[in-house]
Chains A and B, each alone.
Chain A
Amino acid sequence: MWRWASSRTIVVATAAGLFAACCLLPIAYLLTAPLRVGIAGSILSLDARQQGLLWNTTILGVGTALLATTIGAPLGLALARVSLRGKALLRVALAVPVLLPPYIVALAWTYLGGSRGLIASVLGHDLLSAWTYSLPAAIVVLSLVFYPLSMLATEVTMRRIDGRLEEAAVLVAPAGVVLRRITFPLAAPGILAAALVIFVLSVSEFGVPGLLRVRVYTTEVFTAFAALYDFTRAIVLALPLVLLCLLVSVLAVALVGDRLATGQRVSGAPPLLLDAWRQPAEGAAIGAVAIASGIPVIVLVGEALGAQSLGAVFQGSGRAIVNSLLLATIGATAVVSVAAWLGYARARASARAGRVVDALFIVVFAVPSTIVGVGLIGLWNRPGVVGAVYGTDAMFILGYLARFVPVAALAIAAATRHVPKSHEEAASVSGAGWLRTMTHIVLPQIRLGLVTAWVIAFVLAFGELGVSLLIAPPGEATLPIRIYTIIANTPPSNVAALALLQASVILIPVALLAGAVAVREAR
């Protein structure tokens, strides 16, 4: 039972307060800015330039959502319904692109298709460079980065479908009909929700369109603020995008809702409907790994090998590398420290409150990074005690908290839901207080979930670019900022070496975590 004076109320309320201060306040500041600066009337009147931006942004989002779903959903179906060999390893390999910062993948594709890229040097003439820096190219790169989201969502959705529902259909219909009439309609809301999330992430993405010279809202917000120092214009540009993201996120959460709830527990493994397709499915999965992860890594390695001295490259960026590692470590720890309690509260909330909290988390995570950056600057760049924080590395930590607490809280909530409430009740009737119950009963049972959330937060923080570029104190840089700012005036081999280093730092903890999960599943 909740009591106002209980330790649970105090801890969860403190975490909720921090969430409000770090995550909600910058967005609220931005949303209310038009009223303060007297431009409320001009927000929704789009000039020709804005209409072009809206068109480009929409095409980028819709195109990426469609292409990523076209690639990801069949792979998710294969993972869920075909007995693939080495499935656990294949799943991790297929998921790798979503873990890499998107601009690193984009960088690799510019080295492949650019005027002095690999394809041009092999063919002897420039074939693809005009296409490499274009809206369609941005769609392809973002689709290769985000397809794992559709894949994993499809697999999870299909695994949640009661196997008996398909077995009942298998008794009267062949596999193709069962998939079309039973499996896909049941999985459709999950697949569609993933497509909407991909849409939001694509229109929120800054690095890829920035690198491929595609004009969209996020790049214009950045330019308005960082290049032109025009805060008002940045807000005017940001608000339609924020509203679009909020709307689509709410739609995604509503879609997932309770539509799949049958009131019955999921029982029995589903029939392997597509086992005859094992070899083609394995071929497609390996092809996807090769195209989405293999080619970019090989291109970066090939480019980096041209560097005169890798030692000198790393030494020249040593401060940025150390900064990134340190800030991402502190940031991930801070994120999990807040998210753990929010995740617990989410897991123990009623169904209705839980849906509201899920929507809030997803909406906050969906706000584009450059917009969060503008909000943080508006909030913290002022005289007095608050201003003392601005201009220090603490801004990076605030940026990580603002962006990544929601996703970590959702991961921890998912882990906490596996701990039966009766475990807490048993501890409670045995005389343990709530904090003791948490530290001795609940947290030990979700330690893998906590580690997973920490790794997710570390990976995201280590690759964070949009907020960091805006709020970085003078003279301070992280590795993503360093890479992004030296692209134009540094030999590609040096940039590729740094990009590879960044990719390695991200993939090593992920590989260790995947190993831990595999060992746990094998037990």
Chain B
Amino acid sequence: MTGPAVDVHDVSKWFATHQALEGVSLDVAPGECVVILGPSGCGKTTLLRLIAGLDVPDAGEIWLNGVQVASPGLSLLAPHRRGIGFVFQDLALWPHLTVHQGLQFVLDSLRVSRSEQDGRIQEALTLLRINGFAGRYPHELSGGEQQRVALARALVGHPRLLLLDEPLASLDADLRSAMRSELARLRRELPMTTLYVTHDREDAAVLADRVIEMSAGRISSVNESRRRETRS
């Protein structure tokens, strides 16, 4: 039997005197999409950052695909070796690189051969339906197009784990609905392990296999979503 893709064990995190996470445990099966719901400041983004290796836990352990990547106060595996695709809430698109250069930077860093790069970039652009924007800079794109570019950047490296931190938060209602459908389509086409942080229950209803609710740094409830029940 295959182990969990993500195993967070009794993790706590403090920022000065504020405890952001308190004894959080969570596991995610390979291919599963878990949506973490909760109000602002409940610790859901912190949890994602710990898994990505952008912060280290003060207590507890984090395992990815059977490899321990973090222990108390220590990062045991650098972020770029964890095989993670991350979509930030503010997208964090590099302003001095075009869409193509941004994707190429990821593939260069992952030491993907030049001959393979073009195919991978085309694949990502096609998947996100942004083929026409390869030569553009982020500021030359609309909000929805930037969102797709951020997703393409997260996916082009073929990560084993996709982390999404409120990726739709900055969009207006119409665009948000369109992008949510787009994400659902991607989920069907690329059934990869995904952790999706949001405060919007609509996102959870459309995308989640399982919904975890957080409050004040703790997991308050875990629900199998209607999507998974319907599927099974």
Contact = CB atoms under 8 A, between A and B. Distances in A.
Nearest to A166: B92
A165 B90 CA distance: 10
Interface string A16-45: 000000000000000000000000000000
Given A170-B54, A172-B80, A164 B105 contact: no
A172 B90 CA distance: 18
Contacts of A181: 105, 108
A171 B52 contact: yes
B92 A174 contact: no
A162 B94 CA distance: 9
Contacts of A265: 90
A260 B94 CA distance: 10
Contacts of B84: 171
B139 A263 contact: yes
Nearest to A260: B95
The dominant DSSP class at the A interface is loop
A275 B78 CA distance: 13
**Interface size for chain B: under 10, 10 to 19, 20 to 34, or 35 or more residues?**
20 to 34
A169 B84 CA distance: 11
Given A172-B157, A263-B139, A162 B90 contact: yes
B13 interface: no
Interface string B92-129: 11111000000001101110000000000000000000
Contacts, number: 69
Interface centre among A162, A165, A172, by most B CB within 10 Å?
A172
Contacts of B78: 170, 174
A262 B95 contact: yes
A167 B95 CA distance: 14
B86 A169 contact: no
Nearest to B78: A174
Nearest to B153: A168
Contacts of B96: 185-186
B92 A170 contact: no
Nearest to B84: A171
B139 A171 contact: no
B79 A182 contact: no
B92 A162 contact: yes
B138 interface: yes
A107 to B, nearest CB: 44
Interface string A224-237: 00000000000000
16 contacts: A165-B92, A165-B93, A165-B95, A167-B54, A167-B88, A168-B92, A168-B153, A169-B105, A170-B54, A171-B52, A171-B84, A172-B109, A173-B108, A185-B96, A262-B139, A267-B90
Question: Which 6 pairs across A and B sit closest by C-beta, in order of nearness?
Answer: A173-B109, A164-B92, A168-B92, A172-B109, A262-B95, A172-B106
Interface of B: 52-54, 78-80, 82, 84-86, 88, 90-96, 105-106, 108-110, 138-139, 153, 157
Interface of A: 162, 164-165, 167-174, 177, 181-182, 185-186, 260-265, 267, 271
